[in-house]
A and B are shown apart, each in its own frame.
Chain A
């Protein structure tokens, strides 16, 4: 099983700041890596797939990078509506696995 490890577990950022979230896979997953946003009380939403491709309707302030086993999600200028938990997920091998999430709070 590919273990996905996200860091940090939580962080507090001021509006307008740049934010970088990390995700590490225990094995190489090529670029089969997705990022999801879960706003409190809502279902998850796909942000990024293929490690770096934004999903339909996702604002340009969200970007993804990396390949192999090290990945990052960057929010270039944090907005108040970005308060959420962010999860990475590998879809390279079974079982599909998610990271534990990074909780983003607004200062």
Chain B
């Protein structure tokens, strides 16, 4: 079974930056599309970004476009999300998940990492 472990969440001031990581335990990582989904406290799920297994064709929600960058290092089985110019409304648990591209659902999910944006 695929296991995903996110890290990098923290308390950050508005305007700050963070890099989230997601380490995956799967031998097929380099062929697996991946994505990030977030959940603000007490709210529903919001898709953030997705990327193909090759690292091509990233897509972003309008709410994060231009501030967030998704990437991956297939040699390390790791997915990243660079988040810049953080806003209070970015406060959420960020989940990484397999799938979310090439007409795939999100089939395996990590436990999430909390990003809190506050002064």
Contact = CB atoms under 8 A, between A and B. Distances in A.
B44 A87 contact: yes
Interface string B92-105: 00010001100111
A81 to B, nearest CB: 18
B103 A101 contact: no
Interface of A: 32, 34, 36, 38, 42-46, 49, 55, 85, 87, 89, 91-92, 94-101
A45 B95 CA distance: 12
Interface in B66-119: 95, 99-100, 103-112
11 contacts: A34-B105, A43-B95, A43-B110, A46-B107, A85-B44, A89-B45, A91-B100, A91-B104, A92-B103, A95-B61, A99-B44
Given A91-B100, A98-B47, 6 more contacts: A32-B103, A36-B106, A42-B111, A43-B109, A89-B45, A101-B44
Contacts of B104: 91
Contacts, number: 57
Given A34-B105, A91-B100, A91-B104, A43 B111 contact: yes
Instruction: Report, as a range, how many residues of chain B touch the other chain.
Output: 20 to 34
Given A95-B59, A98-B45, A44 B100 contact: no
B3 to A, nearest CB: 12
Given A96-B47, A98-B44, A101-B44, A91 B109 contact: no
A49 B46 contact: no
Contacts of B111: 42-43
